[in-house]
C-alpha cells in the first residue's frame, strides 16, 4: 500500500485528511510536529508523498521541507498554505515542494494532488525512449536521472517532468498552460504561478547563469522554450 505522511499540528484537520486518504486506499503516517515528521520518515523510508503544514510548534513547514528534500530528491511534497498568503506558496515551492493546496480544501482536491504525484513517481505513461541527449544534457528516462556534462543534476519529480517535457520538444515554444496540464494534470485547479516558480528553481540547477538563462528561455506573453 502506498504511504503518505501527513504533518499537521491541528488534530481535527489531520484526522480529516487521514480518513480521506485511507478511503482512497493510502496508508497514512501521522505527525503533529516537524521533528516528529522527520523521525517518521526515517522509520518509513518508503513514504512516497509528504503533506506538510506550515505553522508548526517546533519548526515551520518550510524547514521541514528543506530537510526532507536534502535527504530525498524523489519523494513528492505538498504544502498546505493559507489562501491569503501568496508568498507561502512561492516559498514552499522554492524550498523544494512539488505542489501546494490552499486551506480550506476539499478531500477530492487533496487526494487528486496526491494521486498525481504518485503517478509521476511511478512514471506512468511517461516512457518514450531510454535516453534523451541534447547539448551537455543526458536524461535517462528509465532511471529518472539527468546529467549535465557528466555530472548528476538532482531534480525533484516535478522538475524532472518539466525537463522531460522540454527535452521531448526541443526548440518548440511551450505555453505555460500546456506545461501545467502536462506536468500537473488536466484536472489541476491551481494557478499558472506554480509553473513560473518551478522554472525558476530548475534554472538555478541547470543554467550556467540562472539570471541569464540560455537553455530554458522565456517567450514573453506565451511560455518557455528549450534550446540546448
* CA separation for the pair 30, 52 (Å, rounded): 11
H or E element: which one contains 223?
strand 223-226
Q: Tens of pLDDT along 138-171? A: 998 877 889 998 899 999 889 999 999 999 888 8
Average pLDDT over residues 195-212: 95
pLDDT above 60 for 61: yes
Nearest 5°: the CA angle 198, 193, 55 is 80
Residue in this structure with the C-alpha cell 503516517, named with its chain if needed: 29
- Using CA atoms in the order 171, 118, 199, 85, what is the torsion angle rounded to 10 degrees? 150
pLDDT band at 122 (very low <50, low <70, confident <90, very high): low
What is the percent of the chain with per-residue pLDDT over 90, rounded to a whole number?
55
Q: Tens of pLDDT along 13-47? A: 999 999 999 988 899 999 999 999 999 999 999 99
Question: Which one has a higher pLDDT value, 19 or 190?
Answer: 19
Q: Tens of pLDDT along 111-121? A: 888 988 888 77
**What predicted TM-score, i.e. pTM, was given to this entire model?**
0.66
Query: Taking the alpha carbons of 105, 108, 110, 116 in that order, is the dihedral positive or negative?
Result: negative
pLDDT band at 126 (very low <50, low <70, confident <90, very high): very low
Tell me the backbone φ, ψ of residue 53, rounded to 5 degrees: -80, 160
Average pLDDT over residues 58-66: 93
Question: Which one has a higher pLDDT value, 36 or 187?
Answer: 36
Tell me the backbone φ, ψ of residue 193, rounded to 5 degrees: -55, -30
pLDDT band at 84 (very low <50, low <70, confident <90, very high): low
Residue in this structure with the C-alpha cell 505553522, named with its chain if needed: 55
Amino acid at each position: 500500500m502506498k504511504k503518505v505522511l501527513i504533518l499537521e499540528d491541528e488534530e481535527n484537520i489531520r484526522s480529516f485528511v487521514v480518513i480521506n486518504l485511507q478511503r482512497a486506499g493510502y496508508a497514512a503516517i501521522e505527525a503533529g510536529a516537524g521533528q516528529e515528521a522527520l523521525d517518521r520518515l526515517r522509520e518509513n523510508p518508503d513514504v512516497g508523498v509528504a503533506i506538510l503544514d506550515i505553522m508548526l510548534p517546533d519548526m515551520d513547514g518550510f524547514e521541514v521541507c528543506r530537510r526532507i528534500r536534502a535527504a530525498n530528491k524523489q519523494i513528492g511534497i505538498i504544502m498546505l498554505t493559507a489562501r491569503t498568503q501568496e508568498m507561502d506558496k512561492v516559498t514552499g515551492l522554492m524550498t523544494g515542494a512539488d505542489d501546494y493546496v490552499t486551506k480550506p480544501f476539499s478531500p477530492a482536491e487533496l487526494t487528486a494532488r496526491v494521486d498525481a504525484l504518485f503517478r509521476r513517481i511511478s512514471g506512468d505513461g511517461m516512457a518514450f525512449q531510454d535516453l534523451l541527449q541534447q547539448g551537455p544534457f543526458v536524461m535517462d528516462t528509465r532511471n529518472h536521472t539527468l546529467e549535465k556534462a557528466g555530472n548528476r543534476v538532482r531534480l525533484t519529480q516535478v522538475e524532472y517532468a518539466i525537463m522531460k517535457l522540454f527535452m521531448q520538444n526541443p526548440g518548440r515554444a511551450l505555453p505555460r498552460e500546456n506545461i501545467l496540464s502536462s506536468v500537473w494534470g488536466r484536472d489541476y485547479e491551481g494557478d499558472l504561478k506554480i509553473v513560473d516558480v518551478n522554472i525558476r528553481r530548475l534554472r538555478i540547477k541547470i543554467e550556467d547563469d540562472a539570471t541569464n538563462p540560455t537553455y530554458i528561455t522565456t517567450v514573453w506573453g506565451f511560455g518557455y522554450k528549450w534550446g540546448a
